[in-house]
Amino acid sequence: MEQIQVDNKGVLGSISLADIAALDAAGKDSLKKLIDGTGAGNDFLGWVRLAQETPASLLDDINATAAGMRELCDVVVAIGIGGSYLGAKAVIEALGNSFAAYRNEGVQVLFAGQNIGEDYLAELQDYLAGKRFGIIVISKSGTTTEPAIAFRLLKEQLEREVGRDEARKRIVAITDEKRGALRTLANSEGYKTYIIPDNVGGRFSVLTPVGLLPIAVAGFDINALVDGAAKMGEATINGTDTSALTYATTRNALYRAGKKIEILVNYSPKLHFFGEWWKQLYGESEGKDHKGIFPAAVDNTTDLHSMGQWIQEGERIIFETVISVEKTEHELRIPSDESNLDGLNYIAGKRVDEVNKMAELGTRIAHIDGEVPNIRISIPAITPFTLGQLIYFFEAACGISGHILGVNPFNQPGVEAYKKNMFALLEKPGYEKETEAIKARL
């Protein structure tokens, strides 16, 4: 199996090998807590062996449902927020043709419920009008504000356009096994359903039906995705692959040395939303008790012409983690030009990817020289299998890192604060005291 490789030599100008080694015991203990289920948040460790234990029958069923939706629909809207949206979006964008939407190839998977943008939802409804569309609604409770609003709107539109009986065939609910508003509705309407496991938190749920069904509807190989994660999980648990441990201890050593911001860098536009998924994974997992590395992301070389200046010469509180893709899917060579007005004949005949990789290497050297430590994570290619590996790698490292930091990596108490204020301002029943209190402040 081609493995993910972690190279942390680019941090040695800011910290030493001894600094990293000093956290080795804590890292190994943190990994043991994940494996044994003995650490904080141990009721949300279902992801640790999820891929290895996913039955083939579940994948067959998801693939069959996806095939059925592709027959009935030209567009499928996946409704969810946070982990119920970002993982699927990341994988679909990474594996898909960048211009498939303009070529009308396959079923188009769109997303809603990840915001409360009125223009966004109105324009989505306008786009869907008259099209054969279906809905995957993802919510454990069915009452989370953003997806609940989107589902109410799109369900009403779908039923109005095709009738309630036909709409039932085009709606799939991914929700709690027994309770909640969405479970009640799904049971009463007879929707096809899948279960969100109780022991898997939202940001770790991409390898459950939450992520797998939208990815399968988009036409990608979920069996290979799960297999990649399973292989990485086995190797991480039995200790034959220590890349997640290396990454977790290195980033924590950098944090202790004053590096408070981590920038995830890609040199492939296809990985933009992978960076968004990673930001949620690490932000919600580590940002607690006034601690935690702030996760940011950039797309290079694009952002070298904007954020590159700050990274090169701004405040020295940052480090970079670069995802490097060894092999692209396509080969494109730069042509020679007789007039050579752009001065590019010196690279004529070279592959575009060779130029990109030299830009990557040159940038890493420049940033290291500018006192920005660099961790390099290389993957063989962007495939379902390697993305599965990468997902598990980051999830395991996140759990290890959170325990080293001394927080519960699997809760998110701070997320509830804005909801309480929003409900009070909207005068939701049951929030009368909060409504009075917050109005007194305004």
Give residue for tokens 């700050």: 310
Interstrand relation of 374-381 and 5-7 (parallel, antiparallel or unpaired):
antiparallel
Q: Which of 291, 419, 420, 439 is catalytic?
A: 419
- Residue 2 annotated in active site: no
The overall longest dimension of the chain from CA atoms, in Å, is: 76
The pair of three-digit structure tokens given for residue 360, joined into one six-digit string: 């990557």
Interstrand relation of 318-327 and 133-138 (parallel, antiparallel or unpaired):
unpaired
> Residue 354: which of 327, 320, 386 has the closest Cα?
327
Distance (Å, whole) CA 78 – CA 80: 6
- Residue 305 annotated in active site: yes
Distance (Å, whole) CA 221 – CA 95: 10
Q: What is the separation of C-alpha 291 from the centre of its chain, rounded to a whole number of angstroms? A: 22
Beta carbons within 8 Å of 165's beta carbon, 6+ residues apart? none
- Residue 192 annotated in active site: no
Tell me, what amino acid is at 61?
Answer: D
Q: Which of 93, 284, 360, 395 is catalytic?
A: 284
Whats the size of the chain, residue-wise? 442
CA atoms within 13 A on the CB side of 122: 3
Q: Which of 71, 118, 178, 305 is catalytic?
A: 305
Estimate the crossing angle of helix 272-286 against helix 384-405, to 10 degrees: 20
> Residue 181: which of 152, 208, 206, 161 has the closest Cα?
152
* Residues tagged active-site: 284, 305, 419
